[in-house]
Chains A and B, each alone.
Chain A
Amino acid sequence: MTSTVQLEIPASGAYLAVARVAATGLAAQLQFTYEEIDDLRIAVDEACTQLLARRGSATTLNVAYHLDDAELRVDVSIEAPDRGDPLARDTFAWQILAAMTDEVREQSEAGRLWLSFRKAGGRG
């Protein structure tokens, strides 16, 4: 069964720590190792930062954490009606996300930009 935790924070770098701390606590529940948690924190930081950099006039950033057995899926999204450019795959940011997680996806849909990733824990 999947449990979901939703977070809505102001679209400002000052609140990134909240998204990171939430991820840390949830990953600990899923028995992620110290290193896996660190990777996760980097990925959360990166995804949020990338969307914040495209925030335009958006005022909030949404982060949803889906907990599933030993896996955490994170969806970060922001309203961006006037800045539809998703994260390109040939950027360093994409490379960071891909290296830190098991799967990354970007999406531009219904006036929102999304960055989603999946990370399994417990492999040590």
Chain B
Amino acid sequence: MAQLPQGGRTRVTEVPNDGRVHRGPEGADGGVAPLNGRSVDRGHAKDLFRRFVETRNPALREELVGLHLPLVEYLARRFRNRGEPLEDLVQVGTIGLLKAIDRFDLEREVEFSTYATPTIVGELKRHFRDKGWAVRVPRRLQELNLSLNKVVAELSQEIGRSPTIAEIATKARLPEEEVLEGLDTSNAYAVVSLDAPAGGEDAPAVSEHIGAEDESLEALEYRAALGPLIAGLPERERWILYLRFFGGMTQSQIAGRLGISQMHVSRLLNRTLAVLREGLLEDEETG
């Protein structure tokens, strides 16, 4: 996966762990704190990472996984009341851990646990979201959603702007109520698998489409006090965030630039924001 340019990121070091936006396991209810309790030797971990980055040796990777498994277990436990066996959740979380290990950049000077948490939580959430769609969304709504996608895309082409609900309803020959229902489904379940263009996260690097606006992106990470969370996002999601909130581009413009549909941009945007907000509310509710 291609990396964004990463010159001069030292400012980011001041950002993590204000205790509210994102709270690592260290700050959570004292009894559990796995990393304190079992005491990951941070110097040892750093050394492992340094060697892993150089050699990409699978044995080192495995050792890193073992070292951080308590973090995965801790995070997985937060989801245990949703009817899935804990072992399965740990499996899912470990996929997130592996992604985080492969992407971690020592230059960032953030603790690995801070960096990895959003990726692991994101993986767990996605697991439930995917399942949620398969289990709970009635077939009728899935189909409604797909046909609305099509209508919105066609209408946008025809009239050269985003259509109103009334226009969508007329074209789809549906009551407005049903269109609204379909739109709610679209973002409530925010699942991309049904109509995502082939490639997903491994699609060509977004930076190839866009050029270097990395200074502002860095400012975003800094300003946000969300640095580690944003840094943990897939590249495409990061760019969409940046273009929409700082670049002043509309969803349609972003869609044109990235070669995906506007509704797909909408879903990615909503999903990303949901991930970023998780820390904010979940910690309060469990803490």
The chain A residues found within 8 Å of chain B, CB to CB, are 12-13, 17, 20-21, 24-25, 28, 31-38, 41-42, 45-46, 49-50, 52-53, 55, 90-92, 95-96, 99, 122, 124
Contact = CB atoms under 8 A, between A and B. Distances in A.
A124 B160 CA distance: 9
Contacts of B152: 34
Interface string B12-56: 000000001000000000000000000000000000000000000
The prevalent SS among residues of A at the interface is helix
Contacts of A95: 220, 223-224, 245-246
Contact of B162 (A25, A33, A55, A91): A33
A41 B251 contact: no
A49 B164 contact: no
B180 A24 contact: yes
A32 B166 CA distance: 9
A88 to B, nearest CB: 10
Interface string B180-217: 10011001100000000000000000000000000000
Most chain A beta-carbon contacts within 10 A, residue among B160, B164, B273, B280: B164
A93 to B, nearest CB: 8
Interface residues of B, number: 40
Contacts of B246: 95, 99
Contacts of A42: 269-270, 273
Contact of B224 (A20, A25, A34, A92): A92
Contacts of A50: 280
B224 A24 contact: no
Contacts of B277: 45-46, 49
B110 to A, nearest CB: 17
A81 B187 CA distance: 34
